[in-house]
Each structure stands twice: as C-alpha cells, then as structure tokens.
Structure 1
Amino acid sequence: MATTIQETVSAGRARRGGTRRRKGISPWVPNQHGAWAMLISPAVLGLISGVTMGVRTDAPVGYLAVLFAVLVAWFFGYFAFFAFGLAVKARNPRRRARYLKPVYVYGAVASVGIVGALLLQPELAWWAVPFAPLVAVAVGETLAGRGRSTLSGVATTVASALLYPVLTLVGQAEAATPLDVGLPAWTSMLFLAVYFSGTIPFVKSMIRERGNPRYLAGSISYHVVAVLAVLGMALLWSVGWVAGLLMVAAMLIALFRAIYIPLAARAGADWNAKRLGMAEMPVLLVACAGVLVTIY
C-alpha cells in the first residue's frame, strides 16, 4: 500500500514536471531577475534627472510626454528582445510561434514610443548613433546562440546606462544633440555602465562559470580596474566630492563581494541566486545614491 502511494505521488510529480516543461518559460515576462535592476535603475535615475532639468530650465510641459514615450520605448523594447531570444532558441515551431507573439506586440508598442518621442523631439534621433551598434551586438549574439554571453550582457548594460543621459537631455530646454548633455550626466552614465557590467562576470563566476579559476581571476581583475577608473573619473570630472566618494565606495564594495563571495562559496557557504540578489542590494543603493547626488 505504501509503495503504491509512493508510486502515485512520484507519477503525479512527473506529470506536473512534464507539464511545466511543455509549458516552458513565459515570453511575456522576463525571468532574468538580475536584469531588472539593470533595466529599471538607470530609467528611474534618468527620469529624476530629466524632470529636475525640466524644472530648472523651465522646459515646455510637453517634455513630460517625451520622457514617458522614451520609457515606453525602452521597457517594451527590452521585453520584445527577451521574447526574441526565446524564439531564436526554440526548436519546436509551435513554441517558436508562441514566443514570437510578444515580440510583435511589444515591438509594436516600443515602435509607437520611439515614433512619439521623435515627433515631439526630433533631435533625439542623434541617439541612434550610440544605440544602434549596441543593439546590433546584442541581436547578433542572440542569433548566434550566445544570448547569455558576456559581450551580449555588456552591450545591453551599456545601452541601459545610455538611457540616463537621454532622459537628462529631454529635460534640457535648449538641448539638441548628445554633445549638449552636461559632464555630470555622462560621468553618471559611464559609472552605471562600469558598475552594472561588473555584475555580469561576478554572477557568472558564481553560477555558469563557478569553479573556473580563470573566470574568477578575470572578474576580480575587472573590478580592480573599475575601481581605479571610477576613482579617476571622480577626481578629474566635476561630479562633486560626495558623489565621487559614493561612486568609489560602491565599486570598492563590489570589488570586495567579487572576491569574498566566490571564495566563501568554495569553502562551502550556500550562495544561491536569491542570496546573491539580496547581497547586491547595498551595492546598488550606494551606486544609485552616488548618481542622485550629481543631480542635486
């Protein structure tokens, strides 16, 4: 009797597992939880910067609609890109068709956002110059079956960081091209790109490349160089000593966790994905504080 119950439970689990496998990942909601911080943080910081600039420069109230349109284009564009990555990997034609549906829907919404932003502020077309190569790299890596590669991740991360000066420019009443964005905004953009790019080798050293000493060494080396680069930016460019201190502090904390956590995991500590995400929150908050200080 006990054997029969155990077999029944096992069979039920197998059926449920099979159902989950057949259902697959939802293409409508990105499941890469670590990407949400990279996706949202520059957008929120850029929105604050753009609104602040709009108030300071007494920009026409229409700039708020442009900010909204740019954010729509960014978020729905990323959602479409995520679903596109699933469609490329899908071997089953039916599943591929299911994954392509949100590509079309989200892509259409993102296109409306792009067109709306350009109609309201045509000078935003200049941003295609830095964005286009980054998008091409990310799409190319996805088509080549390397959607999770470091190169693809860095391209997406830099594109996300670029959203900060874009939104800042929207609020500047007299601005026309990316060259009109102030140095503090560009410094913040580079800092965000450096910080979020560093999370890619760090996470890989804990998950996909766990136990690979060369990758761990590369991750630590990147963070050492990143600390020096951010320190140089803070000293040479006009971001203020408080912002510079917070930015350097964020990178020092990031360097510490890039060394300590993988070594602790090797020693037997349980560092799962959820715990890694929680450990990253203090670093992210210090990094965001550094950018916010440059605005005010």
Structure 2
Amino acid sequence: MARRKPGWIPDQHGAWAMLTLPFALGAAEAVRAGVAGWWIAPLFAFWMLGYFAFHAASGWLKAAPRRRPAYLKPLVTYAGASAAAGVVTLALGGLGMAGWVLAYLPLLVPALWLASRRRERATLGGALTVAAACLMTLVLRFPHPQALLTAGPDAAAAALLAAGLFAYFFGTVLYVKTNIRERGSRAFLIASIGWHAAATLAAAVLAASGLAASWWTAFFAATTVRAAAVPGRGWTPKRIGLIEAGFCVVLCVCDLVW
C-alpha cells in the first residue's frame, strides 16, 4: 500500500464538523436575514482550501528541514487555489469582506507559531482554531464587518450563536483530550467537566433572560453528562467521534428549527 504523501490530506478528522457546522449555520442566518448571495459558494471553497493550506503550512513549519520540501507543493497548491476563491468571493460579495482578515490574523498567526514549536495540539492551539472556525458564522451573517456596528439585536444574536458554537467545540477539545491524549489526567477531567457545567449555567441564565433559546441549556447539560461519564471507559476514537457527530446533528437541527 502506497504511503500517503504529507501535506495533502489533513489527518484531523474531528476538524470537519468544526469547519462545516459554523459555516452551515452562518449561511442559514444569512438566508434568514436576506444577505445571502452567490458569494457564499466561493467563500466555502476559500474556507476549505484555506484550511488545507493551513494544514500544509503547519506541517512545513514543524517538519525537520530535510522533510520540508515535501510540504511545499501542497502548500503552494492549496494557498493558490484558496487565494483564487477569495478573489472570486470579493468580486461577488464586495471588497468590504476583506475587513474580516483583521479579525483572523490574531487567531491564525499564533496558531502557526505554535505549529512551528510543534505545539499545535496544545489546548491554546485548539482554542485558536475553534475560535477561527466559529467566527465564520459572523462572517456569513455580516459579510461586511462594519455592519456589526449598526446591527444592534441582530449582531448580539449572531454573536451568541458563534459563542455557543465556540463553547461546544472547545468543550469537545477538552473532552476528547480526557479520552485520548490526556487520558487519566484529573486536571483535564476537572477542566472539561467544569467548562461544560459553566456553559450549561451560562445558557440557563441567558435563556431565563430571554436572550437565548432554552434548548441550549438542555444541550449543554447533555454534553456535561457525557464529559463526566465517558472518560475512563476506554471507548475507541471512532465511537467517540460518532457520538460527537450526533451532538452536531442535534445542535444543527435545534438551531434551524427553533
């Protein structure tokens, strides 16, 4: 069996839901608000190809000097294709969309720095990439970032959705670590359960204030239960991944229906 060439296919299987779910929900919000357009299609291509380029760049940064040339071809290919999709996005959606670059730089630059130190799997690295993914929800709802300043309640609602997605996906980063890389770590288990419990409490407060739908409370309560009950059972990564896929489906359906 031929060995897969490095840099071409990302090996972070859990990243696919994190990349697509915020984008899908952001697109749904754009449709609801009447701001959707043909720019969404090339933006999706830009987003996915950009992730492939980011993966190749991370591989190049952390690779030994003698192995770096193997990452150049996928890096140049994906970066070039992503740039082309970005140009089409700006042509269809307006140059104002480029303003979002300023929001992404503080997230992507430190993430690449961590990769150069071979610490891309650190908790901070996970937080940065999750934040970048969830920010895409706001990009789709407000393609021109300056619109956020005058959107009022609509901006708050979109920000809460992005925050809810961040709370879930970063909680998943902690939860997965308690089952795999940090299995047996009491500190990580406490951090994971504590994060999910705090998200549940925040959701309950927001729901009681009328700022968030009540289903968020039930959703985070369920994730808290799994964060406490699953670690230590020796479940396979595949089984854990399938359960998280189910949570993603539930989250998506709840947001679209309610």
TM-score w.r.t. length of structure 1: 0.78
User: How many Å separate the matches in 2 of 1:90 and 1:209?
Assistant: 24
User: How many Å separate the matches in 2 of 1:166 and 1:78?
Assistant: 16
Question: How far apart are residue 24 of structure 1 and its match?
Answer: 5.4
The alignment partner of 2:230 has SS state of helix
What's the RMSD between the two structures over aligned residues? 2.2
Q: Does 1:50 align with 2:30?
A: yes
Question: How far apart are residue 212 of structure 1 and its match?
Answer: 1.1
Q: Does the 8 Å contact 1:187/1:237 carry over to 2?
A: no
Question: How far apart are residue 150 of structure 1 and its match?
Answer: 0.9
The alignment partner of 1:33 has SS state of coil
Q: Does the 8 Å contact 1:118/1:124 carry over to 2?
A: yes
Q: Does the 8 Å contact 1:247/1:286 carry over to 2?
A: no
Gaps of 5+ in 2: none
User: How many Å separate the matches in 2 of 1:26 and 1:238?
Assistant: 46
Correspondence for 2:77 among 94, 98, 105: 105
Give the total of aligned pairs.
Answer: 254
In terms of mean alpha carbon deviation, does 223-232 or 195-204 score higher? 223-232
User: How many Å separate the matches in 1 of 2:43 and 2:149?
Assistant: 19
Counterpart for residue 261 of structure 1: 230
Q: Which residue type is aligned with residue 283 of structure 1? A: F
User: How many Å separate the matches in 1 of 2:70 and 2:231?
Assistant: 38
Report Cα offsets for 1:142-194 as digits up to 9, x if no partner. 12211111111111111111111211124x9xx84333451221111110011
The alignment partner of 1:209 has SS state of coil
Q: Which residue type is aligned with residue 32 of structure 2? A: T
Q: Does 1:252 align with 2:225?
A: no
Q: Does 1:229 align with 2:198?
A: no
Q: Does 1:278 align with 2:242?
A: yes
Q: How does 1:30-179 map to 2 (within 5 A)?
A: 30-54=10-34, 64-91=37-64, 93=66, 95-119=67-91, 120-170=93-143, 176-179=146-149
Report Cα offsets for 1:80-113 as digits up to 9, x if no partner. 11112222232262x4212221111111122223
User: How many Å separate the matches in 1 of 2:186 and 2:238?
Assistant: 23
User: How many Å separate the matches in 2 of 1:180 and 1:71?
Assistant: 26
Q: Does the 8 Å contact 2:6/2:70 carry over to 1?
A: no
Report Cα offsets for 1:204-253 as digits up to 9, x if no partner. 111000111111111111111111122233333544xxxx2221222111
Q: Which residue type is aligned with residue 142 of structure 1? A: A
User: How many Å separate the matches in 2 of 1:180 and 1:66?
Assistant: 22
Counterpart for residue 189 of structure 1: 162
Give the 3 Å change call, closer, same or farther, for CA 226–103 of structure 1 in structure 2. Answer: same
The alignment partner of 2:177 has SS state of helix
Gaps of 5+ in 1: 1-15
Question: How far apart are residue 130 of structure 1 and its match?
Answer: 2.3
Alignment identity in percent?
Answer: 33
Question: How far apart are residue 46 of structure 1 and its match?
Answer: 1.5
Q: Does the 8 Å contact 2:219/2:251 carry over to 1?
A: yes
Larger proportion of helix: 1
Counterpart for residue 173 of structure 2: 200
Q: Does the 8 Å contact 1:249/1:286 carry over to 2?
A: no
Larger radius of gyration: 1
